[in-house]
Amino acid sequence: MLTMLIQILGIIVLLMALRTLFARDRSERMLYLNAMSFGIAGIIALYIQTPFGAIVAITYFVASTISSNAIAYSIGRVKNEIILDE
């Protein structure tokens, strides 16, 4: 049962990776990357099955969420920048 859950999460992560490659908009890509982070954190938690595995999964999820938010914020700032031609 447990390996089946890990396989299902792996398939979902793979589908999100493919959708990330074919996404048209950057905000769409961030959405799929965040879904991938949920899936990978779930795989880590299910695979390691100890309290340390839960800590690793939580740490991975928080770090990946912070990094994707930082990327989205910097992309938003670049779009709002005014380019001066010399």
pLDDT in tens, 15-28: 999 999 998 887 78
**32-82 pLDDT, tens per residue?**
888 888 888 889 888 888 889 889 888 988 888 888 778 777 777 766 666
What is the predicted pLDDT for the residue at 84? 61
CA-to-CA dists, residue 62 to 17, 22, 68, 69, angstroms: 19, 25, 10, 11
**Domain enclosing residue 67, as ranges:** 2-79
Q: Does residue 85 belong to any structural domain of this protein? A: no
Q: Which residue has the tokens 């990357």?
A: 33
DSSP state of 3: H
Residue 86 has pLDDT above 60, yes or no: no
In a domain, 14, yes or no: yes
Q: Number of structural domains, the chain? A: 1
Output the DSSP codes for 19-53: HHHH-SSHHHHHHHHHHHHHHHHHHHHHHH-SHHH
